[in-house]
Each structure stands twice: as C-alpha cells, then as structure tokens.
Amino acid sequence: MALISISRKVHNSSSNVNVLACTNIDHWLKPMVFVTTSGYIISVIGPYFSDGKNNDAQIMKHIIQHDIEEFKEWVTEDDIMIVDRGFRDALDLLQEMGESQLPVEDSNVTRLVTKIRWVVESVNGRIKSWKYLDRVLPNSQIPFVSDYVNIACAIMNKYWPELNTGDLEQDEQLASKMLYLSKQKNLLHEKIIEEGLDKRSCKWQKIDASSAPTFPRLSEEDIRNITVGVYQLKLAPCYTREHLDDDGNYEVFTCDHEENLLCAKIQSRHISSKRYRVWVKYDDISVVGWYCQCKAGSRVVGNLLPCYSLNLVSWYWKVHG
C-alpha cells in the first residue's frame, strides 16, 4: 500500500471514501493496490483510513466479503496472490513457542516472497513519485483522493515502462536456484548450535589493518551471486554510514573460534542497544557458509546476507580488502 498523508484526524464518515472505521483514526489513507508481476496495476481499491482496525488483513477481508469491484469475478481458483506477512503478525506465536528467530525453512520461504514482492513496493514508490500524492493533503481533499490515485495509476499503466524487463531465461534460472536453496539446511547454523559456539565466551578484538583476517576477495559479481539480487548491496553503504564514529571509522569486533570461521559482533540495524553475533565460514576462494543471530539470520536463500549485518561485513571487506 502507498500511504497518503492527511493533515488532521477525521471523526465522521461523511466523506465519500470507502472505509472500515471512522473514529480514532490516524493521519494516513491507504489505497489497496493490486499489481501483476510486471508492475501493471490491475486495480486500486479504497483508500482506507489507516488505524488499528484497518490493517492489511482486515482490508482484504472487507474487499472479499463485500466483493468490491466484483473482486471474486477477476480472481480465479488457480491464481497466486503474494501478500506481505510482517514479523509483527507472527510475534505472539513466536513468543508462545519460545522462538527468538525464524526457523530455516520459514526464513527461506519468506525470502522467496520478498523476492517477488519488490514489484509491489516499486509500484507504491511510483505512486508516491507524484508530487501531489507525496505531500500532506488537507482534510477537504479526502473525497477526491481515490480519483487522483486512479488517474495517476492509469497514466503509469499507459506511458510508464514495465518494471520487470529482465531476461526471461536468466529470471527462470534465478528462480530455479532460489527454489533449490529454499530446501537446503544451514549447516553452519547447525554446527554453531550443536557445538555451543553461540554461548561460548569470546575475546573480542577490534579489526584493524594488522589484525584483519585473511578473508577471500569477493568481486561485486561474487556477492551478487550469493545474495541473489542487488537490493541489500545497495543498502550496505548507507547502513555503514549510520555506524561510523566521530572519526569516520566503523568498528567491527571479531574472535576466532576455529580456522576459516570468523565470528563478528555488530550492532543491530533496528535496535541501537542490540548487538548480534555473525559467523562467516570461508576458504581460500569464497564464502561457504553464514549465520547471524538476527530474526532472518539462518536463511540460506539469497545470502551471505540473510541480514544487513552479514551484508555490511561482506561489503566492508569487498571495499577495504
């Protein structure tokens, strides 16, 4: 969904907007956008007021139950619908089961979904590229937002290029690779848990020019083959800048559990007080295994970078060698 900001709260349902709830709402409107894998916009339903009662699941139920725009007529039994499943939706279940991290299988499947969903996020970004829709709108404009969004989407469908313009054969090879990896186990993760390396005390040492491990040089193409994409690589420089000290240095602390197995300690991207341990197994030529303690750190699909921590470590060594 592309969130559209409005200037103040609304406490009535007089506006000609399709909404589920009309009280105690936030300052956002949410159009529900349906797109194909090429980025073609099939329909824009709503917008809905964004509040606790109007999460994505509730909005989807409303569309189906009320058959908005005859939704049931243009969705067939064999269609595949890709939707977002955030960590917060599974948080209660994870806590009940005592899990602090997604299992390898679930983490791998989640990566497959995000690999497809980039088209949705890109379409949302295109919608927000219209200056009118990217600014705070006065309350008086609420009745017209639906028309404005639909007009913008119709123009994009007609005149803007498709988002998915890659080589079909390469795309199929990449998809086959990801499906194969999604069924694999993270052997390094199993080794770390079985041998208790995640609980072993470490003598942490800050990396400098004299103490840096003999890590294989990876080209950008090497890393891209491991990550199965470029999105995380694009974020690595920005993530690094967020963690530079006053002198422009980035501190990475490491300890050696065994030969060719590097353990690093790095700050969480989301929680300033949280640090994760990251393990990278390598040989003279390449990286052969990885694991991080973050939520998605056991993933093997599209990684050396199951998380931004591994992304950063690999990018840093790529640049500084």
SS3 of the chain: helix, strand, coil, percent, to 5:
40, 15, 45
| Among candidate residues 58, 56, 51, the one with its CA nearest the CA of residue 32 | 56
pLDDT at position 11: 42
Q: Which two tokens stand for residue 61?
A: 């139920």
pLDDT at position 291: 86
Does the pTM of the predicted model rise above 0.85? no
Distance between CA 9 and CA 26 in Å, rounded? 6
Quick: pLDDT tens for 111-145.
Answer: 666 667 778 888 888 998 999 888 888 888 888 98
pLDDT at position 148: 93
Q: Phi and psi for 84 in degrees, rounded to 5?
A: -90, 135
Query: Cβ(182)–Cβ(109) under 8 Å?
Result: yes
Is there a cis peptide before residue 47, judged by omega within 30 degrees of 0? yes
Give the chain's residues under pLDDT 70: 1-26, 51-53, 83-115, 165-166, 207-214, 229-232, 235-236, 239-240, 242-243, 245, 248-253, 256-257, 269-270, 296, 302-321
| Exposure of 296 in the CB half-sphere (CA atoms within 13 A) | 22
pLDDT at position 158: 94
Domain boundaries along the sequence of the chain = 4-159, 168-320
pLDDT at position 279: 83
- For 173-235, the DSSP string reads HHHHHHHHHHT---HHHHHHHHTTTTTS----EE--TTT---PPP--HHHHHHHHTSSHHHHH
pLDDT at position 159: 94
Q: Phi and psi for 29 in degrees, rounded to 5?
A: -115, 145
User: For tokens 């341990």, what's the residue?
Assistant: 277
| Among candidate residues 319, 262, 316, 271, the one with its CA nearest the CA of residue 291 | 262
- Cβ atoms < 10 Å from Cβ of 7: 13
